[in-house]
Each structure stands twice: as C-alpha cells, then as structure tokens.
C-alpha cells in the first residue's frame, strides 16, 4: 500500500517548525522509520509532515560534567559508534546494536524512538534505567521531564501537540548491563532488560518500561513476580516472566562481579 496524500515542509529553525506544527493535522517527521511504514499501512493519515531533520543543533553529542547530552536527531548508527557514548553511556551504545538492521539504524533517531514509545523498544528502558532527563521545546520555551515521567502508557508520552523532543541528558558512568532475547538479531525483543546499579528496567514487559528495584537478587525477583508481561503470538505472559527472571539473574551476576 502507499501512503495517503500529505503536505510536506522542512523548516530551518525551531520557530518555523512550531509555526508549522500549529497547522491542524500536522505531525513531526524525523527518521521516518516508524512513521512512514505507519502511513503506508494507513494506520495514520496526517495532513502535513514537518520534517525536523534540517533543524540546527539537534544532532549533536555533547559530553559535559558527569553527563552526555544526545540530540534528538542523533541516529541509532551514531549512538552505536560514537566514542563518547561508548565510553560514558555504554548501555545506550549496546542497545543501539540490537535495533533492527543497518538501513534502519542509519535513518532512525533517538528522539523518534523515544517519542514513539514502543513498549518493546530498547531506548525507553535505557532512559528509565539511567534516569535520563528529556528536553522538550514548544513555542513558549522549554521544559525538562524525567524519563520515568515521560512514558505515560502504550505509545503515549508526555509530549503535547506542537512540542518537539530536542535532546536527552544521560548521566555518565556507573555500571550497567543490557540484555535482550529475540528470535532473530534485530527483531523487536520478546523481553529485554536495561540494568543500571540496582535499577532493573524491563521492556516488552508492559505498556511502558517496567522498573524493578532490589537490594538483593531475592528482593528483585520478588518484585518481578508481580509483573504481568503481555502475552504475544508465541509467548505466554508466564513464559515472558520466566525469561525476564533469567535476564535478571544474568544481569545481577554480571553487576555483582568485582571489576
């Protein structure tokens, strides 16, 4: 199928983008790797696509004091390879290697993945595990939102109409582990885990990233026992919880080894 007809605009500044986003039926277009397939499948029919890939300053990776700021337009491929990300937020670099295949990683963006909030996606869980801070801009200014507060429900975020996620600040350092189970490399995860310190965040386990905390493995397992992952075509909720427990134990063992 082909996408329904839509108008297209590529603003050169945020002010121009916000003005365009006031048009009824307007939608932000970033890498297009989720939005364009959804148009082709006629799941969405926006009147105007506002292509934000020409906006200045949104594709930078800036290491700071104890943080790394990653612009919303940074692609999965750059996250995978960038030396600052690999050094300071290795969980994110590792997560990027699990996203789809190279063609999609070359176009898909951090901001697009987070704004979409697919419950099986890798980055939302990483952002919650790392307690990242999101910068959201609108025509009146900017606001900051904690990752955990950003994800509201199934494909639902704190972004309001006309707003653009411009970047994410990730705390640097600390020990983390990223694990996921898939049928084939690059598929969406059956179940996955982004673990940082004592924060264990599962994806594919609920409508939003699911945080499980524990000061001991027994405590974390007890918390996981209360999670009810949604069944998919091949796996029952019980199987997915079992697999989540396997990942939890692997991550716990890795994190408790002396460096």
List residues binding ligand FAD (CB under 6 A). 27-35, 37, 52, 72, 99-100, 104, 108-109, 111-113, 115-116, 118, 121-122, 159, 164-165, 188
Residue 32 Cβ vs ligand FAD, minimum distance, rounded to whole Å: 4
Residue 183 Cβ vs ligand FAD, minimum distance, rounded to whole Å: 12
Give the nearer residue to ligand FAD in terms of CB position, either 81 or 175: 81
Residue 185 Cβ vs ligand FAD, minimum distance, rounded to whole Å: 10
Give the nearer residue to ligand FAD in terms of CB position, either 150 or 252: 150
- How far is the first Cα of the chain from the last one, in angstroms, to the nearest whole number? 52
Residue 180 Cβ vs ligand FAD, minimum distance, rounded to whole Å: 9
- Dihedral of CA atoms 108, 110, 116, 121 in degrees, nearest 10, equals 90
Residue 237 to residues 93, 146, 194, Cα–Cα distance (Å): 29, 29, 19
Query: 3-class DSSP state for residue 79?
Result: helix
Give the nearer residue to ligand FAD in terms of CB position, either 104 or 211: 104
Give the nearer residue to ligand FAD in terms of CB position, either 107 or 221: 107
- Measured CA to CA, the distance from residue 169 to residue 85 in angstroms comes to 12
Residue 205 Cβ vs ligand FAD, minimum distance, rounded to whole Å: 15
Q: Which own/partner contact pairs does 17-20 have at CB distance under 8 Å and 24+ positions apart?
A: 17/50, 17/52, 17/55, 17/164, 18/137, 18/138, 18/139, 18/162, 18/164, 19/139, 20/48, 20/50
Give the nearer residue to ligand FAD in terms of CB position, either 34 or 208: 34
């Amino acid at each position: 199928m082909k996408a329904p007809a839509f108008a297209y605009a590529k603003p050169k500044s945020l002010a121009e983008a916000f003005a365009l986003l006031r048009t009824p039926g307007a939608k932000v277009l970033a890498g297009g790797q989720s939005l364009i397939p959804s148009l082709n499948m006629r799941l969405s029919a926006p009147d105007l696509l506002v292509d934000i890939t020409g906006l200045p300053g949104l594709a930078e990776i800036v290491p700071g004091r104890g943080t790394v700021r990653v612009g919303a337009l940074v692609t999965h491929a750059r996250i995978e390879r960038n030396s600052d990300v690999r050094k300071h937020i290795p969980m994110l670099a590792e997560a990027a290697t699990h996203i789809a295949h190279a063609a999609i990683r070359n176009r898909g963006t951090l901001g697009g993945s987070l704004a979409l909030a697919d419950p099986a996606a890798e980055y939302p869980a990483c952002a919650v595990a790392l307690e990242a801070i999101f910068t959201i801009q609108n025509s009146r200014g900017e606001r900051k939102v904690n990752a955990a507060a950003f994800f509201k429900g199934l494909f639902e975020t704190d972004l309001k109409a006309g707003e653009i996620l411009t970047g994410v600040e990730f705390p640097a350092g600390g020990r983390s582990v990223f694990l996921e189970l898939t049928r084939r490399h690059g598929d969406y995860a059956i179940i996955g885990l982004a673990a940082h310190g004592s924060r264990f965040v599962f994806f594919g386990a609920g409508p939003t990233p699911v945080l499980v905390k524990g000061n001991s493995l027994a405590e974390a397992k007890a918390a996981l026992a209360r999670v009810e992952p949604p069944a998919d075509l091949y796996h029952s909720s019980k199987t997915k919880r079992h697999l989540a427990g396997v990942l939890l134990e692997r991550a716990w063992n890795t994190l408790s080894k002396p460096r």
